[in-house]
Structure 1
Amino acid sequence: MRIRRVVTTRAGGRSAPPFDSFNLGDHVGDDPADVAANRSRLARELGLAPDQLSWMEQVHGRTVTVVDGTERAPAEATDALVTDRPGLALVALVADCVPILLGDSEAGVVAAVHAGRVGARVGVLPAALETMESLGARRARVEVLLGPAVCGQCYEVPRAMADDVEAHLPGSACRSRNGTPALDLRAGLWRQLGDLGVGKIGVDPRCTVEDETLFSHRRKAPTGRIAAVTWLEQ
């Protein structure tokens, strides 16, 4: 099977400022009608029906939900979706957190993960890989995209927080542009993937804070959400 991966930008939608314009998050204070129109356009541009998009109620945890397309509501309180159903697109929404798209084309299994500081720290990515394996995936075959996120130079945090995340996600602690303690979650997740036996890793290097074509909560809040989407094509 062929695996498709798409990452949106903030351009081309209907939402008014400060959510301008292609906001796909329905939990940020945007007009629900505008969000619905943007989500319909996303499906249309991907060549899918709106009910072929699978959403989740992201809560910064490590819960993983397997979906099969029969669901009629977003997956509750979860930060990773996994499926083996062709044509079912999994969506992770971000505005600084790391969206992670995973897939094993031979097994026909894909996953979309929302990994913020807390989720990355508590192991949402290993949990998603384990769930993929329960559906037949093999981590040695899994290909991964780490999507746009706040970079280490822009993600200043207190020293105690940096030390705590580093203890749970080695490789994530760094220094900011100002020389202060900071976090590079993509670096930590890259190392974690390698430790887990996943070697096919791609990175979208864009920083959501620096790139104004993307939404960033740290740059300006309130704001919208971009989407990272993956699905299987037969």
Structure 2
Amino acid sequence: MESLDPRTRPVRKVFTTRAGGVSQSPFDSFNLGDHVGDNPDDVAANRTRLAEIIGLAPSNVVYMEQVHSNTVSVVSQAPHDGSAVETTDALVTTTRGLALAVLVADCVPVLLSDTDAGVIAAVHAGRMGARNGIVKKTVEKMVELGAQPSRIHALMGAAASGARYEVPEAMARDVETKLPGSFTKTTKGTTGLDIRAGLLRQLLSLGVQMIDSDPRCTIEDEDFFSYRRQGTTGRQAGVIWLPTEA
């Protein structure tokens, strides 16, 4: 019988929901964002719980100071003081046992892996970052480290859907010029953006063909934090890591 020991799997990808933590309303309950006004002790407890669930030390989970940029950072270890990697929206590593985390509440979390090359990435693809090529730049950085687009697997998590992500028409058309396939109409008939659809087309154009996407909409589905729906709210995470060899 094939072993189900997670340590034997070449890569691990996990997305959280808002359930299972200790934070109080409006951050209830599994908020992992330390920049949204939640009690710092509650956030720390939630992050510790996440690390325990995935079988890693909290110090081996790396977070970002996300600023909606197209900056990609290569990391080999977590910051010594436990802080986030400054002003970046994508993390890339070849270090086993080091988990990369992306925090979202409507933006698209993208987890990328080439297990043959031993290269992984976590990407925060919000409207501006996606428009300005954060995913493309991340794939390019992975290739520099030995990855091949044809071997990269991309997993996109729950995010604001085109059916409900309303934006001004000028904004949508601007994004469409840089991220073709993202312009859409909402269920109300208004102008919208489908960032995941644009990223799908972009990944295919880069030669990445193994793509999976969670279709759930964070604006609609109350299992997730949503800035659009709530304003003041928490953040869920996407986490990726290469297990240490058993």
Shorter-chain-normalised TM-score: which range? over 0.9
Offset at 1:15? 0.3
Secondary structure of the residue aligned to 1:163 is helix
- TM-score, length-normalised on structure 1? 0.99
Q: 1:70 to 1:54 in 2, by over 3 A?
A: closer
Aligned positions of 1:70-89 closer than 5 A: 70-72=78-80, 73-89=83-99
Match of 1:134 in 2: 144
Offset at 1:109? 0.5
CA distance in 1, matches of 2:102, 2:216: 17
Match of 1:221 in 2: 231
Picking from 201, 210, 213, the partner of 1:203 is 213
Secondary structure of the residue aligned to 2:217 is coil
Picking from 178, 201, 204, the partner of 1:168 is 178
Match of 1:92 in 2: 102
1:101 and 2:111 aligned: yes
Picking from 51, 62, 74, the partner of 1:54 is 62
Offset at 1:156? 0.5
What is the aligned-residue RMSD (CA, Å)? 0.8
CA distance in 2, matches of 1:184, 1:19: 26
Match of 2:127 in 1: 117
Match of 1:153 in 2: 163
Offset at 1:104? 0.2
Offset at 1:84? 0.2
CA distance in 2, matches of 1:225, 1:109: 25
CA distance in 1, matches of 2:172, 2:58: 40
CA contact (8 A) 2:61 2:78 kept: no
Match of 1:69 in 2: 77
Opposite residue 11 of structure 2, the aligned amino acid is I
CA contact (8 A) 2:19 2:30 kept: yes
Q: 1:70 to 1:221 in 2, by over 3 A?
A: closer
Deviations 1:41-98 (A, max 9, x none): 0000000000110110000000001111152231100000000001100000000000
Picking from 178, 182, 201, the partner of 2:188 is 178
Picking from 176, 189, 196, the partner of 2:199 is 189
Secondary structure of the residue aligned to 1:40 is helix
Secondary structure of the residue aligned to 1:190 is helix
Unaligned runs of 5+ in 2: 1-8
Stretches (4+) displaced over 2 A: 70-73
Secondary structure of the residue aligned to 1:99 is strand
Unaligned runs of 5+ in 1: none
CA contact (8 A) 2:59 2:78 kept: no
Q: How many residues align?
A: 234
Opposite residue 71 of structure 2, the aligned amino acid is T
CA contact (8 A) 2:60 2:78 kept: no
Picking from 3, 17, 36, the partner of 2:11 is 3
Secondary structure of the residue aligned to 1:182 is strand
Deviations 1:3-38 (A, max 9, x none): 100000101101000000000000000000000000
Match of 2:29 in 1: 21
Comparing 106-115 with 131-140, greater Cα deviation is found at: 131-140
CA distance in 1, matches of 2:215, 2:11: 21
CA distance in 1, matches of 2:27, 2:14: 20
Match of 2:5 in 1: none
CA distance in 1, matches of 2:103, 2:222: 17
Taking only the aligned residue pairs, the percentage that are identical comes to 59
